[in-house]
Amino acid sequence: MNCLIIDDDEHTRKTMIDLAEQSAIVSSIFHCSNGLEAHEYLHQSRPDLLLVDVKVLKLPGAELITQSIESLPSLILTSTGSAYLRKFSNFNVIDYLKKPLEIDRFMLALNRARIMIRAQQLLKKEGSEFIYVRDRTCFRRLDINEVLYVEAMGDYVKIHLQNSFFLTHSTLKTVEDRLPSELFIRIHRKYIVALSKIEMIQENALIVGGTFLPIAERHRKILGNKITVL
């Protein structure tokens, strides 16, 4: 697992580097002290995990970080308080760590990240038919064959299944990046649907699981290219 650490405090960076190396979970580590350095690194590389001090949001280059990390698979935040946590509420936050760092909590957070990243790697392999989604302090396995559609709901997404639903803290963009593109399609800023679960398509809407969902104009052509018409 490749890791990027962003913290303006040299002592904290060294502590996290030492702990990450001891964990045997992280294979390579890059570290920097501000958003400008982080942006330059993220422009060239895509780490599996990002550990960032929320205080960095007040430093030069903060806006560059937020632009770069939105699609990263896993994020762990560190902070002495919670004042800036909401700035990252739409990102894929695995855990929050309070400073000064506690060794056991740090190791637990790394292990959570390892589980999530491994689950997503398995999903990308041919034949994988499940995903893991965060449920408070654990990750739940969902069979993607049961997913009808995914709905954006503010800072959360609602995953509609055949007989139930699941609510998790994430963004629709993050979910879209992780679902197999050959099985799912974005039809609206608020909806992703399973292609195999579409029951009927009209000009501006479709039906999935008995529910009418709107089709945005800019997604209509892409949808048309994905389906087979006799």
- Predicted TM-score (pTM) of the model is 0.58
**Strand segments (E) across the chain:** 2-6, 28-32, 49-53, 74-79, 93-98, 130-135, 138-143, 147-153, 156-161, 165-169, 184-188, 191-194, 198-201, 205-208, 211-214
The answer to whether residue 139 is domain-embedded is no
121-135, 138-152, 208-222: least confident range: 121-135
Q: Do 27 and 73 belong together in one domain?
A: yes
The answer to whether residue 13 is domain-embedded is yes
Q: Do 95 and 171 belong together in one domain?
A: no
Q: Do 9 and 108 belong together in one domain?
A: yes
pLDDT, the chain, mean: 83
Contact 113, 27 (CB under 8 A): no
Q: How far apart are the first and last CA of the chain?
A: 46
Residue 186 belongs to domain with CATH number: 2.40.50.1020
Question: What domain range is 183 assigned to?
Answer: 145-226
Q: Do 62 and 165 belong together in one domain?
A: no
Q: How many domains does the chain have?
A: 2
The answer to whether residue 204 is domain-embedded is yes
109-118, 147-156, 184-193, 203-212: least confident range: 109-118
Which one has a higher pLDDT value, 15 or 226? 15
Q: Do 107 and 36 belong together in one domain?
A: yes
Q: What is the pLDDT of residue 215?
A: 96
Q: What is the mean predicted confidence (pLDDT) over 187-213?
A: 93
Q: Do 153 and 97 belong together in one domain?
A: no
Count of beta carbons in the 10 Å neighbourhood of residue 105:
13
Residue 91 belongs to domain with CATH number: 3.40.50.2300
- CA nearest to 139, candidates 165, 117, 121: 117
Q: Do 29 and 119 belong together in one domain?
A: yes
Last residue of a domain, one of 63, 92, 124: 124
Q: Do 61 and 97 belong together in one domain?
A: yes
Kindly state the DSSP code that residue 9 receives in the 8-state scheme.
Answer: -
Percent of the chain with pLDDT over 90: 33
Q: Do 157 and 114 belong together in one domain?
A: no
